[in-house]
Amino acid sequence: MSRIGKLPITLPESVAIKSFEDNLLIIQGPKGELTLDIDPVINLQIEANIITVQRHTNQKKHKALHGLYRVLINNMIIGVSTGFSKSLELVGVGYKAALESNVLDLDLGYSHKIYFTVPSEVDVRTEIAKNKNPMIHLWSIDKQLLGQIAAKIKSLRKVEPYKGKGIRYLGERVIQKEGKRTSK
């Protein structure tokens, strides 16, 4: 049995299962509502405020899906009750970020500006403070969507290994390479 898949999921009091019909799970909480289409080989047992994920067989694919769906359901519950957030830091001279109606206006050292449209499910806030690097703060109830948006923004200017310039997650450790040496 999967170590992760066999763990029961407890529902907080503020979160409720709206419906579970035709392998479509809808979970509603104070922050919003999320849906998940569950593979038919996975069964959910819902008793009071505890959800248990079960599988039909011990095939390798079904074992993988067992743990996957348990984690996806748990992330949905955390998302609708508290939400998820990520922060990006822009490191470089002249790097800027501004927000105008869900469109990020980014100056990343290129000869042109980059305009990045953020989906309405993700809340964005930019922060520019004196003597600090510009920051982009993202928040959403959907962990997968939040991670994809953060990764796309980060890919617009990858961290350069010699000077450390680029977009990085807050607190990310960048290993810098040593530059060329003169032989003397």
What are phi and psi for residue 135, nearest 5 degrees? -125, 150
What are phi and psi for residue 79, nearest 5 degrees? -65, -45
Fold: same for 9-81 and 84-169: yes
CB atoms within 10 A of CB 51: 21
pTM over 0.85: yes
CA 130, distance to chain mean position in Å, is: 28
C-alpha closest to that of 94 among 85, 82, 103, 107: 107
- For residue 121, is pLDDT > 70? yes
CATH class of segment(s) 9-81: alpha beta
Residue pair 164/179 in contact (Cβ under 8 Å)? The answer is no
Task: Using the structure block, give the residue that is written with the tokens 């997968």.
Answer: 144
Domain boundaries, the chain: 9-81, 84-169
CATH architecture group of domain 84-169: Alpha-Beta Complex (3.90)
Tens-digit pLDDT profile for residues 141-153: 999 999 999 999 9
Tens-digit pLDDT profile for residues 59-91: 888 888 998 999 999 999 999 999 999 999 999
